[in-house]
Amino acid sequence: MTKPKILVSRRWPAAVEARLADRFDVALNTGDAALTPAEFRQAFKDFDAVLPTVTDKIGSDALELTNPRTKLLANYGVGYTHIDMPSANAHGMVVTNTPDVLSECTADLAMTLMLMAARRAGEGEREIRSDAWTGWRPTHLIGSKVSGKTLGIVGFGRIGQAMARRAHHGFGMKIIVHNRSRIAADVLARYGAIQADDLDDLLPRCDFVSLHCPGGAENRHLINARRLDLMRSGAFLINTARGEVINECDLVQALAFETIGGAALDVFNNEPDIARCLRDSDRLVMLPHLGSATTETREAMGMRVLSNLEAYFDGQSPPDRVN
């Protein structure tokens, strides 16, 4: 039988690429550069399935064609707001994602960012590398304690709960959550958490706020100047969700005028183009979208895509279908 022809939009872990090649007729993007809308349009004409990543921009322009051969977009990542879903639906394309497998490592990284921001670790590391450190002194790079403080978690799905478990049971933090729907009392009890009435109620009560909510139009600039003004003057904002959830210009203003204590970001509005005003802020810790960047998780994500592909081409409903 002829193997289904698939395109992998970026390089994946070698173990996953090998498994894909065993089962399918695979084309790899060996240059590992982001594809243009025109290149995606051509791919949709040539391949039975396309395997994009969360940073591939598959807008209406990329899907502006008739009778595409592609009927499956098997996304490598949880979020899929980078795909124009109405256009994909109009073409009858099935879209899948990779839930569950990256929750633990993303929560690990959120904790990393929180600790780095609170303890000014980025500033200290830069100071040493620039040969500017003159030695220990009592007032040098004074940061904020994390243990026992109050953490607000925005979005209490798998990653938010993994973050709560680390913060509450590991650091003795008090947990307040905001979620679109009510959280069951027994789930909150696992983390000693309480649920705020709304986001505006949560923000003034927290020393740290960690974002784990979906992206997309509904949450675009969820954190803006008005909401930053609600935060405590010494509070820290952590984002491992999606870049568009924060109005970055408003965040820079809040940092410059010290209306919040600091921030830490793993995701950005226009990745990989980071605004100069962000890069110039010493009160901001930044990492290059590393939330799921462990060997175990990146391989597990790929194997999840493989499961969706196999189910689809075996005539079954993919387990992680989102449309």
Does a structural domain hold residue 85? yes
Do 74 and 145 have their domain in common?
A: no
Does a structural domain hold residue 323? no
Please tell me the pTM assigned to this model: 0.92
Rounded Cα distance between 228 and 233, Å, is 9
Do 232 and 86 have their domain in common?
A: no
Do 202 and 241 have their domain in common?
A: yes
Does a structural domain hold residue 322? no
pLDDT at 85: 96
The verdict on whether 244 is a catalytic residue reads no
Rounded Cα distance between 182 and 194, Å, is 11
Query: What integer is the mean pLDDT of 229-245?
Result: 97
Given the residues 41, 166, 289, 304, select the one marked as catalytic: 289
Task: Using the predicted structure, report yes or no on whether residue 245 has a pLDDT greater than 80.
Answer: yes
Q: Which residue has the tokens 């051969």?
A: 69
Given the residues 17, 271, 299, 310, select the one marked as catalytic: 271
Do 47 and 110 have their domain in common?
A: no
Given the residues 242, 283, 298, 304, select the one marked as catalytic: 242
The verdict on whether 271 is a catalytic residue reads yes
Rounded Cα distance between 205 and 259, Å, is 15
Residues with Cβ within 8 Å of 59's Cβ and at least 6 positions away in sequence, in order, are 37, 84, 87
Do 51 and 161 have their domain in common?
A: no
pLDDT at 146: 98
Q: How many domains does the chain have?
A: 2
Rounded Cα distance between 152 and 318, Å, is 35
Q: Provide the 10 A C-beta neighbour count for residue 127.
A: 15
Task: Using the predicted structure, report yes or no on whether residue 152 has a pLDDT greater than 80.
Answer: yes
Residues in the chain, total: 323
Does a structural domain hold residue 44? yes
pLDDT digits (tens, 9 = 90+) for 100-140: 999 999 999 999 999 999 999 999 999 999 999 999 999 99
Do 147 and 89 have their domain in common?
A: no
Q: Are 221 and 245 in contact (CB under 8 A)?
A: yes
User: Which pLDDT band holds residue 294 (cuts at 50, 70, 90)?
Assistant: very high
Does a structural domain hold residue 320? no
Does a structural domain hold residue 319? no
Query: What integer is the mean pLDDT of 266-288?
Result: 93
The verdict on whether 289 is a catalytic residue reads yes
Do 157 and 244 have their domain in common?
A: yes
What percent of the chain is predicted at pLDDT more than 90? 97
Pick from 112-126, 143-157, 242-256, 271-285: least confident: 271-285
Do 95 and 110 have their domain in common?
A: no
pLDDT digits (tens, 9 = 90+) for 31-83: 999 999 999 999 999 999 999 998 899 999 999 999 999 999 999 999 899 99
Do 170 and 239 have their domain in common?
A: yes
pLDDT digits (tens, 9 = 90+) for 261-272: 999 999 999 888
Do 87 and 173 have their domain in common?
A: no
Nearest to 12 by CA among 24, 1, 2: 24
Does a structural domain hold residue 41? yes
Rounded Cα distance between 176 and 52, Å, is 35
Q: How many helices (H) and strands (E) does the chain have?
A: 13, 12
Residue range of the domain that includes 244: 103-286
DSSP string over 103-143? HHHHHHHHHHHHHHHHTTHHHHHHHHHTT------TTTT--
For position 197, which CATH number holds?
A: 3.40.50.720
User: Which pLDDT band holds residue 96 (cuts at 50, 70, 90)?
Assistant: very high
Does a structural domain hold residue 321? no
Query: What integer is the mean pLDDT of 252-262?
Result: 97
Query: What integer is the mean pLDDT of 178-202?
Result: 97
Do 133 and 277 have their domain in common?
A: yes
Do 71 and 183 have their domain in common?
A: no
Q: Euclidean distance between the first and final Cα of the chain, in Å?
A: 29
